[in-house]
Chains A and B, each alone.
Chain A
């Protein structure tokens, strides 16, 4: 707004046209007019909606969430069957969305950072290959990639029946890693850990030792900075990682065992099935987002002045170490904000799960449930609110990070 301040008019009393021509009141006038227009608009929308709902004989209530869903979902992270409610189906979908989003963010970061760094490599072949990767994924719609990767995985991996051993003792395909992992066109079957109450104790100890490693590293850094003493970290970390867990594991009489997938009937049984729809969606999302992250990383690294690299080389650091200790930490400040917005994009893009039949929240709540109950208004509203909440949480986290980075600026 204009910041010109007129000399305050001498006492003339308040006149009506001051509301428009006096900068002191004008902003108020504008806002009130805007408010009225806005409220009228929303009132109009709501009024229309009510009239339309009435004309169609529909009501606005969320009771359908408590009704029996009647359809099955293949990947459930919480107990669910076709007798459960629509609300629970939505919850299953939400968890599935979160699962693929989290997995996708992790893999996309790994892929993106690798590709971004490798694209700057002096190796001509590798550099070109990464350029091809980045340009191919950035310039072709994600939906196409999801469909293609899904089809590719369906075509290129063996079907479960190929694992059958025929009379002569041959099979068209075999399991990997000592018969524990089977890659099929229905998904990857991996051993599932099985254990009773004692197993949780082992897991607890393991988590505690991870925490201990972090504490020890922190302590070592503090020592180094405060007293200049070098405290060894590598060996204690390794010891902490393995020893307590293994000791407890054997003391308790090996409470955790692995259930291996076995071929039986139509398919592998036992173990955990990571379905192809999940893998395809995961890979497609990660590779697509990874291509964008690669560009962000590359931009971040290029933004660090060449003097930094030269100084590091002058100190005798090799290029790998230079990257890890000098360039990346500085580049991170440039990289992180756009990186987080890529995470946000990935989470939103996971709604394309519909293309491969992955049962995310859009497929359950926003798809089958709406279709079976005819409650599109309520369903879409809930769906929108869920995505909005997630994205507000992520951008909230980003703002916190940005503020913290800002404080460090000198």
Chain B
């Protein structure tokens, strides 16, 4: 039978593959993407159209104004003249000349122009110092620099004799020496008490004269720059960074206190945290500005920026405490038990086992706290410090730029956005990395 069927009997045999056909137009390329992503249902279609209309409306109202921007003028009046000459009378056009004229002030405040390298270098130092904390790949030896960085940054920003920061650092060395050398002969308790008391006594009574004497003998230092010259984004940054870094030790102590079984310690920690978190920052800032002098011994007086940094430190300590508490709670209970089983006492187990892990978990939260604090530094405008928004008021008070509005705020907004957005991206990256490591 089979033989009977010769090839000739068959009507048709396909010998080659057909070329692939294009999918229907609606199922390919941009159209498919459009259909699936934008017009998959009526509701979606309406939403898409509405969104596009909104985007168009916003752009139509802002783009011409932006693009017509005048960048070179000495005052608003000049800006208006240039605009009238270029585009005709009364056409909407931005006057970005105010930014070209005053951008240094918005970034650095009144910091002497020839010394701009110092805040920039301080910023680089800051980045170098936190690199080993934030990125695992950076060699650990960099941590030594991290310890030295605060003193270096302080010296760079405020200038003055090199001996001030050095003597302050010496206090910490004394504290460390007490722990290291007194524990053996005198016992740990005495050593700890000495490590706390001696540096304080040193700072209060010896550090000042010592620094002065050393400064007289060997006057090395940078040209001093007072806090009153700080302003703009530099001020925001200094307050934000100082607030976060100084608040870390206190925040960790508060978090531990809140976890503690000791009734009094626990309640005091909880009370402090709730008190600080329950009241808005602006009230605390007014407290710093109006009331802090009441609480200090009569006659003491230090500049408003320092008072703000103290208040911001206390403020962020409460928030850091909550973040660290989250980190402590996230640790498996086995870690605590294992530490106990090794016979470590409370501080040893915290220092060697618990805190290193908890803090690592807490870093994204700390970064978010920092972003929030950095944004909140704008509130200092209400107590007369010249942060970017405060400076924008001052700039608008000069006869040259009186009446300018959006351009300044646009600039400030964009700067803030760049800072905060990059930091929040970093914290998200960290969070992802942490979840990967924990699985």
Q: Which residues of A contact B (CB under 8 A)?
A: 1-4, 20, 27, 30-31, 34-35, 38, 45, 48-49, 51-53, 55, 118, 121-126, 129, 135-136, 138-144, 147-148, 151, 348-349, 351-352, 354, 362, 366, 370, 376-377, 380, 383-384, 387-388, 390-392, 395
Contacts and interface: CB of A to CB of B under 8 A. Distances in A.
Interface stretch (B74-82, B102-110, B414-422): B414-422
Interface size class of B (residues with CB under 8 A): 35 or more
Interface in B188-202: 189
A142 to B, nearest CB: 7
B382 A354 contact: yes
B295 A48 contact: yes
B375 A140 contact: yes
B261 A1 contact: yes
A142 B375 contact: yes
B286 interface: yes
Contacts of B406: 151
A349 B281 CA distance: 9
B296 interface: yes
Contacts of A151: 405-406, 409
A122 B37 contact: yes
21 contacts: A1-B260, A4-B340, A20-B189, A27-B261, A51-B298, A122-B40, A123-B40, A124-B37, A125-B51, A135-B421, A138-B424, A139-B416, A140-B416, A140-B420, A144-B409, A148-B409, A362-B283, A366-B283, A377-B294, A384-B279, A391-B278
Interface stretch (B138-146, B217-225, B263-271): B263-271
Contacts of A126: 44, 47-48, 51
B38 A125 contact: yes
A30 B282 contact: no
B283 A141 contact: no
Contacts of A349: 280
> Which of A4, A123, A349, A391 has the most B CB atoms < 10 Å from its CB?
A123
Contact of B298 (A48, A139, A391): A48
Contact of A143 (B36, B263, B277, B379): B379
Given A2-B346, A129-B55, A387 B279 contact: yes
Main secondary structure of the interface of A (DSSP, over half): helix
B36 A122 contact: yes
Nearest to A353: B282
B280 A348 contact: yes
B300 to A, nearest CB: 9
Contacts of A376: 286, 290-291
Interface string B166-178: 0000000000000
A258 to B, nearest CB: 31
> Which of A3, A351, A395 has the most B CB atoms < 10 Å from its CB?
A351
Given A27-B262, A34-B268, A376-B291, A140 B413 contact: yes
Given A48-B298, A129-B54, A387-B283, A30 B421 contact: no
A140 B44 CA distance: 30
A139 B376 CA distance: 11
B375 to A, nearest CB: 4
A144 B412 contact: yes
